[in-house]
Amino acid sequence: MKAFRRARGAYVARLTDDERYVLAAAASDVASMLDDEEAPETDDLLTGLAHDLARPTPRPDDPAVRRLLPDASRDDEALAAEFRRLTQADLRASKSAGLRRLAAVLTERPGKRSSEVVVERSEARAVASAITDIRLVVAERLEIRTDEQAEAIYDMNAVPEGARQLVAIYGALSWMQESLVTLMLDDARAASDVTPPDPSSGEPSR
């Protein structure tokens, strides 16, 4: 795995076929966790929206899903329930779409090399958010609650054998995300430093 870099107007990383497969499968699995099985199958947007707003929306049973769909308030159960009713369906859908897009990015091969993973700048924010969602789920499965626990998890001697693949996935995602977000922030800073030209001065922007 090689970190993201700027190339051809996009962000490009390099992954092996095995790395692509494992991370794409993780993205698809988390997207499936977010699928709302109680939602009606309908092409009518208004019908679906009316159904979502009318029915109560229970708190997710899976603690990993609760990390993705946290309560709006820990102290006010009524407020948290109302917030879930109004927003959870849309949040599930948007997160699921982002995760499925990440899975597609990991399996597509538009680059010059077959190992290249190409993230267009227009979708970089969505991809970074999807990576965060997978990391949250993996962190819950590994019982990571603090920064100290996140650092300690890389001591493979202390990790049960059955959890080592999850640790490897967590580490790979963390590294991918850091390299992508670093480029995004650098580009955002560079864009904010550009001074628009004054039409009356005839001077170029800088």
3-state secondary structure the chain: CEEEEEECCEEEEECCHHHHHHHHHHHHHHHHHHCCCCCCCCCCHHHHHHHHHHCCCCCCCCHHHHHHCCCCCCCCHHHHHHHHHHHHHHHHHHHHHHHHHHHHHHHCCCCCCCCEEEEEHHHHHHHHHHHHHHHHHHHHHCCCCCHHHHHHCCCHHHCCHHHHHHHHHHHHHHHHHHHHHHHHHHHHHHHHCCCCCCCCCCCCCC
Residue 69 has pLDDT above 90, yes or no: no
pTM of the predicted model, to two decimals? 0.78
* Res. 112 pLDDT band, cuts 50 70 90: low
The rounded mean pLDDT for the chain is 82
Pick 6 or 60 by higher pLDDT. 6
Residue 54 has pLDDT above 50, yes or no: no
Pick 172 or 155 by higher pLDDT. 172
Q: Give the range with max mean pLDDT: 51-60, 133-142, 187-196.
A: 133-142
